[in-house]
Amino acid sequence: MDAFTAGLLQRIRTTESDLTRARETGDDFLVEVEESELDDLRRLAAEHGVEVDVTHV
């Protein structure tokens, strides 16, 4: 796995974790921010052929 792929997957995992935390605390604004970030990261992954497991978020 190259550095780009590893970094992208780490950013996705971190964002998923942050999204979960935002949902748990009821921070609706932060939920929207994290969902948007996650969408952007997933789009970037798809554009570069990086497979992402999206079943747990």
Contact 16, 35 (CB under 8 A): no
Q: What is the pTM of this model?
A: 0.87
pLDDT per residue rounded down to tens, the chain (57 residues): 899 999 999 999 999 999 999 999 999 999 999 999 999 999 999 999 999 986 554
C-alpha span between 50 and 24 (Å, rounded)? 29
CA-nearest of 36, 33, 42 to 12 is 42
